[in-house]
Amino acid sequence: MVSAAGSLKQPRPYAFGYINHEGTKMSKTRQTLFAIAILLNGSAGAFADDVKAGDLVISQAWSRATPGGAKVAGGYLTIENKGTAADRLVSVSADIAGKAEIHEMAMDNGVMKMRPLDKGVAIDPGKTVKLAPGGSHLMLQELKGPFKQGGKVPVTLQFEKAGKVAVSLDVQGVGAQAPGDAGHSGHMDVKKMPDHSGMKMK
């Protein structure tokens, strides 16, 4: 398109790239809403869809980017049981980790302690269980590579009744405290996160 002055009119820059208005019917309002959605979510389709396994619905599966040389990372997700019978998350595995377990963090006489949940986590009928920072979570150890922000980490969950379920953890920022959190400023000091070296498990 050429302006009245005869110069070539360039596409207008937007937060999510360049849009050439020639031949497009997208209204300015829709463009603005789309740009806001991009900024809020980081990128289009940033989070994986819910995963259904029998009566279970697994959502908001995520992890944090790992600092250089880190050999341990946490995994977090939400499990909803929409059925009438209880199920149990009994184990987890991941190709990127030499060892993967379900862990619990809890305060004991003012001291934060971590221990593996050998019997897993029960998901009662009609209930929702959230694995989150500071509580029960997936612990991926002996990492074979870094977790990079914006990437995905495939893991396999083993349920007592629903069986094996493949889930991808969306990797957020280093200091993220929840899905969609940009990280870096979270209240948990990643340098002080336990690496299990010499740690006593109850």
Are 30 and 63 within one domain?
no
Domain annotation covers residue 58: yes
E-assigned strand segments in the chain:
12-14, 17-19, 51-53, 56-64, 72-81, 87-93, 97-108, 111-116, 121-123, 128-131, 137-143, 152-159, 163-172
Partners of 167 in the beta sheet? 155
Are 102 and 144 within one domain?
yes
CATH of the domain at 103: 2.60.40.1890
pLDDT in tens, 36-77: 333 333 333 345 579 999 999 999 999 999 988 899 999 999
Confidence band of 186 (pLDDT split at 50, 70, 90): very low
Domain annotation covers residue 191: no
Domain annotation covers residue 1: no
- Per-residue pLDDT, averaged over 171-179, amounts to 84
**CB-based contacts of 94, cutoff 8 Å, min separation 6:** 100, 140, 153, 154, 155, 156
Distance of alpha carbon 82 from alpha carbon 105, whole angstroms: 26
pTM of the entire predicted model: 0.67
Domain annotation covers residue 144: yes
Are 87 and 168 within one domain?
yes
Are 27 and 94 within one domain?
no
What's the chain's average pLDDT?
Answer: 76
Domain annotation covers residue 201: no
Are 28 and 80 within one domain?
no
In the DSSP assignment, the letter for residue 42 is S
Are 22 and 69 within one domain?
no
Domain annotation covers residue 29: yes
105/64: higher pLDDT: 64
114 pLDDT more than 70: yes
148 pLDDT more than 60: yes
pLDDT at 159: 97
- Write down the number of H helices and E strands in the chain: 1, 13
- Total number of domains constituting the chain: 2
Region for 144 from its dihedrals, namely left if φ exceeds 0, alpha if ψ lies in -120 to 50, beta otherwise: alpha
pLDDT at 107: 80
Domain annotation covers residue 127: yes
Cβ–Cβ < 8 Å for 153, 77: no
- Per-residue pLDDT, averaged over 104-110, amounts to 84
Are 114 and 18 within one domain?
no
Domain annotation covers residue 130: yes
In the DSSP assignment, the letter for residue 68 is T
Cβ–Cβ < 8 Å for 83, 192: no
Are 84 and 35 within one domain?
no
Are 27 and 58 within one domain?
no
Are 82 and 27 within one domain?
no
Are 77 and 116 within one domain?
yes
- Its domain, for residue 146, covers 51-185
Are 135 and 175 within one domain?
yes
